[in-house]
Amino acid sequence: MNISNEQIFLQQHIAASLCDTLAGKKALVRTFGCQQNEADGERIMGALVACGYTPTDELTEADIVILNTCAIREHAEQRVLGVIGSMKKEKEKRPSMLIGMCGCMAQEQHRQELLQKSYPFVDFLFGTDMHHRVPEIVQNALNSRKQKQYVTDAPHGEFGVITEGTPVFRDSDYKARVSVMYGCNNFCSYCIVPYVRGHERSRASADVLGEMRSLVDGGYKDIMLLGQNVNSYRGDKTFPELLSACASFDGEYWVRFMTSHPKDASAELVQVMAQHPRVARHFHLPFQSGNDRILHAMNRKYNREQYLEKAMRIKEMLPDAAITSDVIVGFPTETESEFLDTVELVKTVGFDMLYTFIYSPRKGTVAEKMVGRIPHEEQVRRFQYLSDIQDAIAQTKNDAYVGKTLRVLSDGNFVGRSSQNKIVAFDADVPAGTFINVEIKSAKQYKLVGELKK
Ligand code: 5AD
Ligand code: SF4
């Protein structure tokens, strides 16, 4: 569902009416988790600024704190609960402060119940389809101190919105995120995302391209197209067409995209990357497991061979690109030999970087109900075994850059990122947001070190 213009105007009106009351007050949005959450956090801050708040990074001076949460693994949720718990003291010291919670955890029913029962000092909670209502939510919280929850219980196919025309307060003036699609229809058996983010929906290409244009015109140099399955974009263009258009504005900038699902990692997409020098040389393509039985149990919709074919195509057609991935170890019933299939796949592809996760049961998912959980110590052993192998691969990959010159976008403080998203340290104090050439002199597992080349 697209949020109507009337609704957007109503919220703008509420925001404007709060500006006098909130002038001089400070707002903190603390974001946990993925890039999508970071993008949401920038919109929430945009709404708070429109209400009159000034952004701050300091909890002790914040008049409103919104915790933008992540539910992808148990550990992420425990961290958030720890932070919420610690807010109680802050609120006792300064009772006028407002505390809110949003994001993926806020969308889980058992967390909504927990918040009501155990954390009554939290003023409000809102779900992932309520961001456009922040001004109204703040107004209500200022008027009443009773915890209010703004959530829908719409079924997956109807849950989720597209909002255009709300303000964004960006974290950086040279790196930006542009959401192109939201939600997920895949229901991988371990994953909470479809339940908390709703069904897949794509923005109109004109809206994406309008945002792109204003970012490029505004001097942004590294722009990331975002989506839970970004390459499953189904707007009025295909994703390769959209990417091609995003890479066709004048000026020097990079456009990258995250996260891709292997089922939609087409030859056409790789071709577009090869044709457009502005498309960053980085492909993040999660494989999750190297064993067919586990892939099937995960409901991933591809097998090992199909994944390898796609990864090899990327390596052949984009020899200067980095390839990175996500993998889960210790999925229920995963045997030692099935785990070794994952290890073999890692060795065969040779990823520049691998994000290895220990399987974490998520309430309400299919895998949560599976028998045959792997003991935690065994999961940790597999994690460590795979991490050691990957560390050695990453070193070999980075060694190959020694002697080469890379285009690097400075982040200031003598470091930056290459088009491959490699961290590059160099010997000159170059302002953040400036492109430079760096000759690589040495390589560590996750960092290249070089000298500025004039
Ligand atoms: N347990 C462990 N890892 C998970 N991921 C998603 N859900 C789970 C889970 N329940 C990992 C996947 C995904 C990444 C963002 O997080 O590898 O690609
Ligand atoms: Fe989760 Fe799978 Fe959707 Fe990715 S594709 S968000 S892993 S359900």
Same domain membership, residue 24 and residue 142: yes
CA distances from 237 to 36, 213, 244 (A): 21, 17, 10
153-158: average pLDDT: 94
302-319: average pLDDT: 97
29-46: average pLDDT: 97
Domain boundary among 374, 399, 424: 399
Same domain membership, residue 292 and residue 319: yes
Same domain membership, residue 285 and residue 366: yes
Domain boundary among 273, 302, 320: 273
Q: What is the pLDDT of residue 1?
A: 84
Residues with CB under 6 A from ligand 1: 72-73, 190-191, 286, 288, 326, 328, 357, 359-360, 362
Percentage of residues of the chain with pLDDT beyond 90: 99
Residues with CB under 6 A from ligand 2: 184, 186-188, 191, 193-194, 228-229, 261
Q: Is residue 227 part of a domain?
A: yes
Nearest CA to ligand 2 atom 6: 193
144-160: average pLDDT: 95
Q: Is 92 exposed, middle or buried (0-12, 13-18, 19+ CB in 10 A)?
A: exposed
Same domain membership, residue 387 and residue 319: yes
pLDDT-derived band at 426 (thresholds 50, 70, 90) equals very high
CA of 230 to the centre of ligand 1 (A): 16
Same domain membership, residue 422 and residue 386: no
**Domain span at residue 448?**
405-453
The CATH number given to whatever domain includes residue 342 is 3.30.750.200
What element of type H or E holds 451?
A: strand 447-453
CA distances from 284 to 218, 226, 262, 323, 439 (A): 27, 12, 10, 6, 25
- Output the six-digit token pair for 181: 């699609």
Q: What is the pLDDT of residue 265?
A: 94
205-231: average pLDDT: 97
Nearest ligand 1 atom to the CA of 288 is 17
Say what the pTM is. Answer: 0.96
Q: What is the pLDDT of residue 88?
A: 94
Q: What is the pLDDT of residues 66-92, one digit of tens each?
A: 999 999 999 999 999 999 999 999 999
User: Of 182, 195, 229, 307, which is best to mutate to test ligand 2, by the most ligand atoms within 8 angstroms of its C-beta?
Assistant: 229
Same domain membership, residue 145 and residue 11: yes
Same domain membership, residue 19 and residue 128: yes
Q: What is the pLDDT of residues 362-414, one digit of tens each?
A: 999 999 999 999 999 999 999 999 999 999 999 999 999 999 999 999 999 99
CA of 70 to the centre of ligand 1 (A): 12
Nearest ligand 1 atom to the CA of 326 is 17
User: For residue 404, what are the contacts with CB-CB under 8 A and spacing of at least 6?
Assistant: 439, 440
Same domain membership, residue 375 and residue 307: yes
Q: What is the pLDDT of residue 454?
A: 80
Q: With b meaning 16 or more CB within 10 Å and e meaning fewer, what string describes 18-42?
A: beeebeebbbbbbbbbbbbbbbbbb
Nearest ligand to the CA of 362 is 1
pLDDT at 145 over 90: no
Same domain membership, residue 305 and residue 386: yes
Q: What is the pLDDT of residue 79?
A: 96
Nearest ligand to the CA of 73 is 1
Mean pLDDT of the chain: 97
Same domain membership, residue 14 and residue 152: yes
Q: What is the pLDDT of residue 263?
A: 92
Residue 295: how many other CB atoms lie within 10 Å: 24
